Amino acid sequence: MTNNMSDLIDNYQQVMARIQTATELAKRVKAPELLAVSKRHDVEKIKALAAIGQVDFGESYAQEGVKKKEQLYEFPLVWHFIGPIQSNKVKLIAPNFDWVHSVDRIKTLQLLNHHRADNQQPLNVLLQLKIGDEPNKSGATYDDVVELAALAENLEGLKLRGLMCIPPASDDFNIQCGFFQEAEVVFGEMVSKYPQVDTLSMGMSGDLDAAIQTGSTLVRVGTDIFGRRPE
Ligand SMILES: *Cc1c(COP(=O)(O)O)cnc(C)c1O
């Protein structure tokens, strides 16, 4: 147990150092934020990271995320929903999470807005842009993102904050950068149209260096912090 937790802290500090190095290499002034992706890892690990100052946590399964949030209510954490959104889970997601990264359909936007309570802050929304052409992959096309952004702007329960993407897997830094640049361009257009847009969520354990090179403002890291996810 003790060992596990000290590995966790070690891993976390290594990821923070890697983000710092990539930020310097990219000659960027500000490092991206780190979203710790805690899906399928237990609350004790989240507590250990919260104790050393990590605030943002990402979950992919609605019930699991809500349960953890309830167990950790005394910690001032920010919860991000990053998984595919089934319509029947929106009732659970909309009131309980602070951010949703994976919006790629009009119906989801409308349901999220509907289920966000009036007395809550607007829900922070990222639109998931599809990058590369893999069949059966989630994410909206460029044209759909433009349409979704315009709609999100008009929904009072939501606050449009930017884009998220998951490009096709590759081990090659230049190929990774090529995919991320597509998102960077679309993000630039969104920023000039909508002044409150400030978040480009991209980069995971295997490609965060390339994501930082190409303008990511929020990297989502699971495996390199928590180790392999339990089946
Ligand atoms: C699981 C997940 C991550 C974390 O991936 P790792 O490779 O474990 O760092 C990031 N983003 C999304 C959308 C995920 O589902």
Lowest-confidence range among 8-22, 124-138, 181-195, 203-217? 124-138
Centre of ligand 1 to C-alpha 99, Å, is: 15
Q: With a 6 A CB cut-off, is 204 part of the ligand 1 pocket? A: yes
Q: Best of 8, 35, 82 to mutate for ligand 1, by most ligand atoms within 8 A of CB?
A: 82
pLDDT tens for 69-93 read 999 999 999 999 999 999 999 999 9
- Closest ligand 1 atom to 205 CA: 9
Q: With a 6 A CB cut-off, is 35 part of the ligand 1 pocket? A: no
- Closest ligand 1 atom to 226 CA: 8
pLDDT of residue 1: 46
Nearest CA to ligand 1 atom 11: 220
The confidence band for 161, taking pLDDT boundaries of 50, 70 and 90, is very high
- Closest ligand 1 atom to 229 CA: 8
Give me 194's structure tokens: 């909508």
- Closest ligand 1 atom to 220 CA: 10
Q: With a 6 A CB cut-off, is 220 part of the ligand 1 pocket? A: yes
Centre of ligand 1 to C-alpha 223, Å, is: 8
Tell me the pTM: 0.97
Q: With a 6 A CB cut-off, is 80 part of the ligand 1 pocket? A: no
pLDDT tens for 171-185 read 999 999 999 999 999
Given a cut of 60, whether residue 2 has pLDDT beyond it is no
pLDDT of residue 159: 98
Strands 78-81 and 33-37: unpaired
Domains and CATH numbers, the chain: 3-226 (3.20.20.10)
